[in-house]
A and B are shown apart, each in its own frame.
Chain A
Amino acid sequence: MENEKSLFDLQVDMLGKAHLKETAKWARFLAITGFVGLGLVFIASMVVTMSAEKTSGYKKYGDEAITGAEVLGSLLGALMIVVLYFFPCYFLLRFANKMRTALDSDDITSLNESFKNLKATFRYLGVVTIIFLVFLLIGLLSSIGDGG
């Protein structure tokens, strides 16, 4: 019976726990710095918007006029980055928290929840990266078209 268990069940040993603990630590750090980064992106976009309004009043900067639409566009772009990046940070933080609980209390349910959040992180990043790849391919093809 015990033999059967060792054959068909994997047991997370001390080394595995150490790796998972470190993974959770880095993931937590990444999630927290990610949230800080998101805040900074938001503040930076606000600062840029305010300075554009203050210095030019949407008038002239160098040779070109900065229009309200351009400022709004950059603000929307920054907001899009904030929204896009929020979810992987959130999943990562949940992964790290659940993993810590699982490792501290040897709780298999928390371990499963933790892996689910890790999966969500990789899935989200994978899908976003595929979308980015499509845009990159479109840009590459159009630049080849322009060059040719």
Chain B
Amino acid sequence: MEQNQNSSLFSLNLDAQNSYTLRSTASWAKVLGVVSLIIAGLCIVFGIIMQQAISNAGSDFDSYRYRSSGLSASNLGTMGLAIYVIMGLLYGVSGIFALNAGNKINAGLKTNNMETLNAGFAGARNFFAFWAILMIIFLLLMLIGVLGSLGNM
């Protein structure tokens, strides 16, 4: 009895409401994961189409705008493709983390398996850690941009 009281005082039991909230959280994480994976695929397809389009219109690009910057049409297309592929990969990895978290949390709640639930929490941690690291890189690039534009003023 005393042990039971201690358990309720010093540990967290997931009650019905918690389980319900967590289950709908997992559902939305799965939605986010699936949509992110679709976007990842589309980004790569989009990049390939764009590269083809730029390469096909190569002569116009070469003679018009990009000659002064030293970029040929094929280089420009490859650069665009690389950007889209990187974007797709980032979305893909993030989608896998979100899907993994959603699936594991859902499975853990369905089977009352704490290990699976913990794996789901770890998936959520990976998802946020991934975006946090990307955010650091993004902020650094942005700072460089702002400082550069302030220097040009």
A residues neighboring B (CB under 8 Å):
2, 5, 7-13, 15-17, 19-20, 22-23, 26-27, 29-30, 33-34, 36-37, 40-41, 43-44, 47-48, 51, 54, 92, 102-103, 106, 108, 111-112, 115-116, 118-119, 122-123, 125-126, 129-130, 132-133, 136-137, 139-140, 143-144, 146-147
Known interface pairs A12-B14, A16-B118, A119-B28. Does A36 touch B139 (Cβ–Cβ under 8 Å)?
yes
Contacts A/B (CB < 8 Å), 30 sampled: A8-B112, A10-B114, A11-B11, A11-B12, A11-B14, A11-B114, A12-B13, A13-B114, A13-B118, A20-B121, A22-B125, A27-B128, A33-B135, A37-B139, A40-B143, A43-B146, A44-B149, A47-B146, A47-B153, A108-B13, A111-B12, A115-B18, A115-B25, A116-B21, A119-B25, A133-B35, A133-B38, A136-B42, A143-B49, A147-B53
Residues of A within 8 A of B90 (CB): none
Complex Cα gap A16–B117 (Å): 8
Known interface pairs A30-B131, A112-B17, A112-B18. Does A51 touch B12 (Cβ–Cβ under 8 Å)?
no
